[in-house]
Amino acid sequence: MGAGVAERAAIFGDVHGNAAPLRDLLAKIKDQYGDVDLYCTGDLIDRGPDSKGVLDLCIQHEVTSLVGNHDQWLHRLAKAGVFETFALHPVMGGKATLESYGCMWTGQALVEKHMAEALPQSHRDYLLGMPIWIRIEVGGVHYRLTHAGLDSPTAAVYTAELDRAREEGKNVPETGEVEYGDELLRLVATVQPDNLLWTGCDLRNPNAFHFPDGSVQVFGHTPVGREPRITKRWIALDTGCGKRGGGSLSAVVLPEGDVVQAP
């Protein structure tokens, strides 16, 4: 989904329930760049001590956040009232998210009842409004944001499907390269959204897909070390906030390509 044109935008990666560094990061961005359009590539919650506070900050500062694989269970809870217990797995860290809403694990039924009362309507609305992907334009360059990124092998499968549908005349309109890229992401998000939420790009042997319109992919999900990795065709933002051993929360400011970090 296109999000229009921004004069300047700041995009940050995985927060994982750490409201304090997010507060510091947003303050640094404002101090250095003034009012800019704010985006997050998802994974607002889990592991850290204050997922509720993270959502409060994102709502307060009008951050447009994508849904990440960690956000999915809370999104589904907000939508259908059903708690998925896989969120309690230590790798997920959903117990910390429940506790930030004052909810202890006392069984699925009681958790669902408690969260139905504890989850503010503003949080429900925010969670349900989080897209899987978005395209923005900054400084004449298109940026495509997803949580985990689109890799080349996955893109090849769905590109072939799009082309085959066109050849068979199945209501796939002829479009330019920008629109073709949108169609591709829309198809992946509809048929197999896990490819954009869980799979991720291999950054040891980088296989991030190169969109034909020259747009830059921006994603998190895969930790990349102390600094974001910035190339001409993709930007990887997850610098370990909420991971074991600690890490920082990182943002890239566009069109400059500057990096802002907290702490």
Provide the mean pLDDT of the chain. Answer: 95
Tell me which H or E stretch contains 228: none
Q: Are 77 and 108 in contact (CB under 8 A)?
A: no
pLDDT one-digit tens code per residue, 209-255? 999 999 999 999 999 999 999 999 999 999 999 887 679 999 999 99
Q: Between these two residues, 136 and 200, which has the higher pLDDT value?
A: 136
Strands of 234-236's sheet, edge to edge?
2-6, 133-138, 141-146, 216-219, 234-236, 229-230
Residue type, 255: P
Q: Is pLDDT above 90 for 108?
A: yes
Can you give the pLDDT at residue 1?
A: 59
pLDDT given at position 242: 82
**Residue 171 confidence (pLDDT):** 62
pLDDT (average), residues 177-205: 95
Q: How confident is the model at residue 86, as a pLDDT?
A: 97
% the chain with pLDDT above 90: 89
Rounded to 10 degrees, the C-alpha dihedral 58/78/188/135 comes to -20
pLDDT at 174: 65
Please give the angle made by the CA atoms of 31, 38 and 250, to the nearest 5 degrees: 70
User: Residue 177's pLDDT is what?
Assistant: 92
Mean pLDDT value across residues 16-27? 98
Give CB contacts under 8 A, 24+ apart, made by 247-251. 247/223, 248/21, 249/12, 249/13, 249/15, 249/18, 249/21, 249/22, 249/25, 250/12, 250/13, 251/10, 251/11, 251/12, 251/13, 251/25, 251/29
pLDDT value for 230: 98
86-112 core/surface letters (b: 16 or more CB in 10 A; e: else): ebbeeebbbbbbbbbbebeeeeeeebe
pLDDT of residue 5: 83
> Of 46-60, 96-110, 166-180, 188-202, where does mean pLDDT reach its minimum?
166-180
Confidence of residue 172 (pLDDT cuts 50, 70, 90): low
pLDDT in tens, 38-58: 999 999 999 999 999 999 999
Counting other chains too, the contacts that 224-231 makes at CB distance below 8 Å and 24 or more residues apart are 227/259, 228/13, 228/252, 228/259, 229/203, 230/257, 230/259, 231/206
pLDDT at 173: 61
CB 77 within 8 A of CB 124: no
Strands (E), 26-132: 37-40, 64-65
**Domains located in the chain, CATH noted:** 2-71+130-262 (3.60.21.10)
Helices 19-33 & 51-60 angle (0-180, nearest 10):
20
The DSSP H or E segment spanning 262 is strand 258-262
Q: Give pLDDT, residue 190.
A: 96
Strand (E) or helix (H) holding 114: helix 108-118
